[in-house]
Amino acid sequence: DTAVSQTPKYLVTQMGNDKSIKCEQNLGHDTMYWYKQDSKKFLKIMFSYNNKELIINETVPNRFSPKSPDKAHLNLHINSLELGDSAVYFCASSQDPGTRDTQYFGPGTRLTVL
């Protein structure tokens, strides 16, 4: 059974388009996250939601908007895509955002903006 799943796995699109990436977890966790991995493999947090409420919002362009319809889902919508948005985006979840909790990652979505 897949614990954290993301769709699509690959996304190729033109500059200026709007796209969404979906994430679902079946672990019963309360907290979900989006991370961005650049071409040098560097990973950085973008957003975190706990029980559908935004708790982390790093310095990310407001073209990126997370949406959490329920605590098992955290989608990422990106407006007016730019070349620099090309990256691998990872969703993750944990039981709560406390210090001891392991985050479990999805398989990633490779976004390529042409």
Q: Which positions lie near other proteins, rule CB under 8 A?
A: 33, 35, 40-45, 48, 55-56, 90, 92, 97-108
Q: How far is the CB of 45 from other proteins (least distance, A)?
A: 5
Nearer to other proteins, 12 or 15 (CB): 12
Nearer to other proteins, 35 or 64 (CB): 35
The CA distance from 4 to 106, in Å, is 5
Which residues, in sequence order, are CB contacts of 59 under 8 Å at separation 6+?
A: none
Q: How far is the CB of 65 from other proteins (least distance, A)?
A: 19
Q: How far is the CB of 87 from other proteins (least distance, A)?
A: 14
Return the residue matching tokens 């479990």.
Answer: 104
